[in-house]
Every structure is written in structure tokens, then in C-alpha cells.
Amino acid sequence: MNKSLNILFICFVALLVISCVNAANDNPNNSDDISNYQISSDLSNTEIQTMLDNAKEGDQFEFTDREYKNISLVVDKKLNIVSKKNSNIHTSNKIADKARNLGLNNSFGFYFTSNSGGSFLYGLTIISNSDYGIVVDKSDNTTIKNVVIKNGNVGILVKNSNNADIIQNNISKANSNSIHLENVSKSIISKNTISYNGRSGIHASNIYYCNVTNNTVHHNKFNGISLYNKTTGNIIKFNLAYENPNGIYINSQSDFDVVNSNTFTKNRRNTDYELGAFESGNGLLFGADFKTAKEGKSSRLEVKYNVLTHNEGYQAKNNPDLPTFKLGDNWFDSTDDENTFVCPMLLAGIMKMGTISVKNGFGLQMYDTNGEAVTEFGTFDTTVNVNGNQYTAKFVNGKAIIDANLDPDKEYEIEVIIGDKPVKFTYRTSSGDKNDESDSQTSTDGDFGINHHDFIDAMGNDASKGVGNSENGTSSAHFANSEQSGAHGTNASGNFQDSSDNGDSVLTNGNANAGDSSKGEQSEEGKAYEIVPQSKISKEITDTSGIIVLSIVSILGMIIYGYWRKPEIEN
């Protein structure tokens, strides 16, 4: 009898614990219990601000109408502010009462304070009449995504903040900088289109371990991208900057920064340029305050695999007061190592272009000065003539493939336009025995690669007319940029000997912190925002009550089983 009562008591305690778990899960104060507010255009700015102030952490505000006037809102807690209709938010040029009470002296559309970390701003069109369209100040993990900003003084100001995501926005016609970063770390500036601004597209001062990637920056009046003061561990990759006075201006103390695989092209001279007309029109420009570690140090700025072409000044230019700096391998759209239009105060490894055989088609591959195929590279187009037929070859990840329906049993005369000059090849397409595209990227010993000795021979001889075959005979490698055997190009004063202050060897990847991981893409996907009705919010990850209940039942079963068998064990 006592044994049965004890078992019943254990069951009662277990049921009580399970009930408590379920009650906690259904608690109305649970973090999943957010409220959704709709903001109509008949509400005043003061009324909207009151709604924001009275909201709970994580609440969602949706602008539901098309036009809103005189908006200036302070976000002082974690909120999601969205629009499904690309609502036009016309900002106020006056300082709102809430802002004045916080001691703010500039006008803005949205201001995210230090209490607003984790907020989202998504899907709005901001017509700015204010000093700033958006300000993110001491607000960590804040995301601005799919926002259009026009006019005003500065598009987006991010300062004293960590882990901000500025993604897929379109910012134009600001009087000053489009995106202004100041004292920012571990943030992502990616896939933004930035144009027609009064100063720089992206202005960065004192930024650390940020990803500035895949942005298109054009027709700005100062620079596409500007770096100032101290920059450390930043990855600047896959950006396209054109029709600015300079593609990128580096005027910072740079440690562990990577400027790789960008395209800086068609940047123009400007007689009214702030630094002087002769400092404009460059793909890359180093300022007087640029500093980095000496050659061979792991913290040295890395600049390689960029496309630096068709700029009106220099493709890359150093400041005359600085020591000679050696870039990594880059593409200057030139077949002449002596005329790459790189200023005499810079040395650069000249990338080579070669052909690769593909089934029924024609392929081009970029190679570094060691003969290795490059798979992370800026983008550009070039013209290819095949037996009188003209094609456009677009380089993506260092390779361009043209489906020209070529006969594998015939040889073709190929012309590739490099630096406005045709470079001729005799070309035979692959027989199709190995037509997997990945084989075409093999650099030295694969069937579609090039033999190392053939590459060296091509580099030293007139390889634009010759053929370098791999040992297996399935691929031909032709090098367009091989009239000279010198590895470094200059413009005016001949090749510099290795006597600069920066060391002797061509720059190699010494950035221990940067790597090739796609931090930006991962973070971006992790913060992608979607409006989901409250009733459909998934609890599959956050709801652990089922696991807890199952654990309690299992433990209970073991206790009862052990208690029931206790007399047998004792005997």
C-alpha cells in the first residue's frame, strides 16, 4: 500500500512540474508575444512618436499608406519598422521635441539610440529634407535594408556602433556623403546602389573588421569610397565604382585591410575637385596620410585582383610624399607592362589573360604572376572576335565563357580586344571528353590547365601568337599580356628596382584576419527580414517545452521502475 501511495505522489509532483512548464510557455509576457501596429498617414509625427514610445521591445510598426509628411522619429527600443508599399516618408527639416529632449542638434528622419539595438528598418522610401535620412548612434545589431533615400545632407550616418547591417539600399542625391561610417566595427555594408551624391559614396573613418562588399558606387562628386584615420581588418571586395573623381581613396592608417576583387573603372578628372584636378580621375588614390606596415608584414594593406581600367588619370596613384608602394597582382587592361598607367611611385604585378578550352565554345581565364588561375576577381567586359563574329566576354570570378558553337575539329582565329588593341590567338576548342566547367579552372597540372614550363615560356616569349599545351594535350593556354617578361608595370620612368622602402617581393596575402570566408553574406542572410503574421510565427526553435516534458517523463519512468524493483534488488 505504501509503495502505491509513494508512486502516486511521484506522479503528482511530475504533473505539477509539467503544468508549470506549459504555463511558462503560454505566459503572455513571453518574448514571442509581440504587437503589430499599423501607421496610417492621418497620424501626426507626435502621435507616431507616442506609439513608438509606448511599444514593447520587438513590436512591429507598418507604414500602410503611400505618403507621410514631416516625419522625424526617435527609435529608443528594439523595434521593427517596415512598409510593404515602399511608403514615401518625407522627413522634417526641424528638430522634433523628442530629439530636443535628448540633446540632439540635427534634423533626421529616423534616429536609432543606444537602446534600440536589434532594430530593423525595411522597405521605406525616405525623401529627406533633413540633415540625415537615418542615424544609427551607439545602436548595435541594427539593420537598414531595402530602403531608398533621396536628397538631404547625408543619407545614412552610422557612428559608435557594432554589427550594423546596411544592405540593399539605394541612396542618391545627398548633398554630402551617402553612407557615412564613424567609429564602427564588425558591420556589413553590402549590395547598396549609391549615386549622384555631393561627396563620397561611402565615407569611412575609424572602422574595424567591417565588410564593404558588392556595392555599386557611381557619379559621386568626391570619391566612390573614402577611408580615413584608422582602418583595421576590413574586407573591401567586389565593389564597382565608376564615374567618380576617384574610385577609392585610401587616406588612413591601414592594418590588415583587404582591397581585393573590385572594379574601379571610368573615373573622371574634375577641374573643381577638392584636392585638385590632378588628384582626380584615378581608379585608386593614396592620400598623404596613408600608412601601412612594411612589405612582408602580415598587417600590411593588401590590394590585388582588382580591375583598374579606363580611368582618365592613373589606374592607381600614390601620393608623391609617400615611399614607393608595391601593390599585388591587378588587371590594367594592357598588353604592355611598360604602359599600364600606374604612377611611378607604385609597383604592381600585372595579371595575365589566357584562353581555356571548353566544349564547343571559347573561354578566357585570368592568371596571377605565378601562373595560378584567379577565382576571385573584379568584373569587366571585353570584345572577342571569332572568325569575323563578335561576342562580348563578361568576366565573373576570373573567367569568361562564350558559347560560340565552335567545331572541335577546326582551328579558329581569335581576337581579344585588350586596351583597345586586338590580340590574336589560334584556338581549338575542347573535344568534349572533359567538359565539366570546373576542370577549366585547374591552374597547373589538370587536364584543362597549363604546364608550369609552358607558362614560363609563354611569359618570356611572344606567347600572344604561340601555344602552351599541357602534358595531357587537352587544353591550349595563350597569354595575351606576355610581350614583356617583367612582372611589374609602370608608366613613365621604367621599372623600379627592388630598392623601395617597402621590401623586395611582390605582395602576397598576409592578412591573417581576413581570409576568404563570406562573413558578410552569412550575416546578411541571417538578418533577412520578412513580415510574418503573429499567428504564424514559428516556435520550432524557441519552444523547448516538449523537450522538457519528455525529459521529465523519462526520468519519472526510471524512478518508478527503480522504486518498483527495489525489493528484488535488495534480496
> Nearest 5 degrees, angle CA 232-CA 235-CA 237?
150
pLDDT at 404: 84
Per residue in 271-285, pLDDT (tens digit) is: 999 999 999 999 999
Does 219 score more than 80 pLDDT? Answer: yes
pLDDT at 412: 85
* Mean pLDDT of the 4-33 span: 54
d(CA 556, CA 11): 8
Output phi, psi for 448, to 5 deg.
-105, 15
pLDDT at 541: 38
d(CA 189, CA 191): 7
Q: Is 164 exposed, middle or buried (0-12, 13-18, 19+ CB in 10 A)?
A: buried
**What's the distance, CA 237 to chain centroid?**
6
Q: Tell me the pLDDT band of 556, cut-offs 50, 70 and 90.
A: low
pLDDT at 329: 97
Q: Tell me the pLDDT band of 338, cut-offs 50, 70 and 90.
A: low
> Nearest 5 degrees, angle CA 145-CA 151-CA 154?
70
d(CA 269, CA 281): 4
d(CA 72, CA 95): 8
pLDDT at 568: 58
The set of cell numbers assigned to 244 is 567618380
Per residue in 418-461, pLDDT (tens digit) is: 988 888 888 877 655 444 443 333 333 322 233 222 322 233 33
Residue type present at position 42: D
Does 414 score more than 80 pLDDT? Answer: yes
pTM listed for this prediction: 0.75
* Residues 6 or more apart in contact with residue 481 via CB below 8 angstroms: 334, 335, 337, 350, 351, 352, 353, 418
